[in-house]
Amino acid sequence: MVEDLTARFGENTILQGVSFKVFPGEVFVILGVSGCGKSTLLKHMIGLYEPSSGKVVIHGVDITQADEGQLRRVRMQFGVSFQSSALLGSMTLAENVSLPLQEYTDLSPEEVHLIVKMKLGMVNLAGYENLLPSELSGGMKKRAGLARAMALDPIVLFFDEPSAGLDPITSAELDALIKTINRGMGTTMVVVTHELQSIFNIAHRVIMLDKSAKGIIAEGDPRWLKENATDPRVRDFFNRQISKGIKER
Amino acid sequence: MKQKTQSNLLKIIIVGDRGGEITLSPVGRIETESLHAFLKEATSLVTQMDPRKLVVDLSKVGYLDSAGALGLIHLEEMMKSRSISFQLIHVTGEASRILDLVDREALAVTPLASEATPENIFEEIGQVSLKICSDFVALMTFLADLLGGLLYSFLHPRSVRWEDLFFYMRRTGVEGLPIVGLLSFLLGLIIAFMSSLQLKQFGANIYVASLVGVAMVTELGPIMTAIIVAGRSGSAFAAEIGTMKVNEEVDALITMGFDPIRFLAIPKVLAAVLVVPLLTLYSDFFGIAGGLAVGVLGLDLTVNSYLQATMKVITVAAILKSLIKSVFFAALIAGIGCQRGFQVRGGAEEVGSATTSAVVAGIFLIVVTDSAFAILYSYIWKEVFTF
């Protein structure tokens, strides 16, 4: 749950009084045109940025006020898949995925190895555990990043632009993976994206952010919004239309 | 029937007799945190009771995550390998969906070998040898490109990015003044102090001035400055260009029709070549000042006599030699820094190793070049120049 969140960088206000709830088990998409503050909002939700005011409550804990111990416990309950996959380049995939398991659990090395194999299998990377991230393609890195994010079976998974830089097939595979994990494990998914196809494919509910409004301009089912939204900015986004600015000449 | 408590999260109720059918009823949560306890108990149970059939009743499991599902599958595989029949009962829809998520085939896949990890020592030796050879070829190719770029810049001064040149002159030169001054002063101080301990015994205090002057101007000034510049600027050049390679900025320059060596390396190398000789003079000055401090405060010499003794031994030729040397040092440090940066292919880790390599190779080449100059000056200089 995000309550009355305001995000500022110096004098520049990015988001003003943003409030919304994410329900357990849903795929919740934060969308909007580039520069509207989607990634900034996500980084506030995962506790990387501190808001100027407002609350971010995950499982009853306000992470903006939480002490280190509380934050550590909350962080065990969520996983983040970063835009650039953010795998540690000096470590193999197995070492990357086993990092949170070694840090947060008392599992034996054999058990950790078994879980790593399972997680990599879940993201269709079975057998790749000894490879370095530099030996993988972009899509494989994204999936490996997801395997690491899922290492501790989090309650919530955050995705920052999962389809960015991927071809349509790899992107569709990743969407399918998100849906499978959501259905199979009931994991709540919070996805930041502007890929329309992805949004219609995976989202149960969306919020749309806007740069000039500095906040949410639409909320609901994307299919319903596409057909019924009255705000021209929302309509343009869902129908890939240009109403102002650059026109085709 | 017996009951065992494994952890706060999980209890296991066991029903059955040794050698017969045993039912194992986990109560609570089978998840990442309780996986170790679950597997440990189940394994010891099988060893102790040697069952004919193992039934796992999931009716009392409140929560099952993928690690828990993996535990159950692992248990099943273990039973199969011991020819014990295995059955899961009261599997809820949710549990069955999670069990389905675990790809059993993936668990048995043989891992691919990374190309980055060599198989054995011979392969490793071979790879290292090849790397040294290709490094040498790359360095020579780069130096040739750099010389070509420098020549082009002399012929076409308008092509030089003067703003960048002044920026790097400030970075390498002006910003390096405090540390070069301080270290050289301390170095002069140490040499003067250590030599005075010996020379004092013979009443030869005044020779401390000559010793410090000659040592600083001919060797220590240029070397000290070069080492500091290698640590400060050579590493910074490697890291900057390396990061640009990672971010595809260098590729962008190439596609826009720029020569990355002329665009990125030439301003850095030219800046270093221009400022390092000046830094060397500055270092000589501070080194002598350090010696002077010891001479005046510790050896009862006057400022005038100390400086006169210094002037006697420092010739224009010596200063010129040290400046020529420092120009070569500067070109090597900046060249190696840029070359190591351009070699980066992967991610953050490679930027780190390129930076380290730039400093290590830079310092190594400084020492090698210095030795070469020592020989050159002793045998050839006198023949050619007479000051």
Say whether A115 and B65 touch across the interface (CB within 8 A). Answer: no
Residue B17 CA: distances (Å) to CA of A244, B53, B76, B79, B334: 79, 11, 19, 17, 78
At the top level of CATH, the class of B2-108 is alpha beta
Domain regions of chain B by residue span: 2-108, 145-384
Alpha-carbon span A204 to A227, nearest angstrom: 16
Shortest CB distance from B66 goes to which of A92, A128, A185? A185
- Residue B312, token pair as written in the block: 């006697």
pLDDT per residue as tens, chain B (387 positions): 444 445 566 788 888 877 788 888 888 888 888 888 888 888 888 888 888 888 888 888 888 888 888 888 888 888 888 888 888 888 888 888 888 888 888 888 888 887 766 668 888 888 889 988 988 898 889 889 999 988 988 888 888 888 889 999 999 999 999 999 999 999 999 999 999 888 888 878 888 889 999 999 989 999 999 999 999 999 999 999 999 888 778 888 887 777 889 889 999 999 999 999 999 999 999 999 999 998 888 888 888 998 998 888 888 888 998 999 999 999 999 999 999 999 888 777 788 989 999 999 999 999 999 999 988 888 776 665 554
Say whether B97 and A120 touch across the interface (CB within 8 A). Answer: no
> B86 by DSSP, 3-state: which?
strand
**Contact (Cβ atoms closer than 8 angstroms) between residue B355 and residue B235:** yes
Residue type, B129: S
Nearest CA in chain B to A131: B114
Shortest CB distance from B33 goes to which of A105, A126, A135? A105
**Contact (Cβ atoms closer than 8 angstroms) between residue A159 and residue A38:** no
Say whether B346 and A134 touch across the interface (CB within 8 A). Answer: yes
Query: ipTM score here?
Result: 0.72
Say whether B114 and A92 touch across the interface (CB within 8 A). Answer: yes
pLDDT digits (tens, 9 = 90+) for B93-148: 888 888 888 888 888 888 888 776 666 888 888 888 998 898 889 888 988 999 99
Say whether A127 and B102 touch across the interface (CB within 8 A). Answer: no
Alpha-carbon span A80 to A61, nearest angstrom: 18
Domains of chain A: 2-239 (3.40.50.300)
pLDDT per residue as tens, chain A (249 positions): 676 677 777 677 778 888 888 898 899 999 888 888 888 888 888 888 888 888 888 888 888 888 878 888 888 888 888 888 888 877 888 988 988 888 888 888 888 998 998 889 888 888 898 888 888 888 888 889 888 888 888 889 998 888 877 788 888 888 888 888 888 888 899 999 888 888 888 889 998 888 877 778 888 888 888 878 778 887 788 777 776 555 555
Shortest CB distance from B111 goes to which of A115, A127, A132? A127
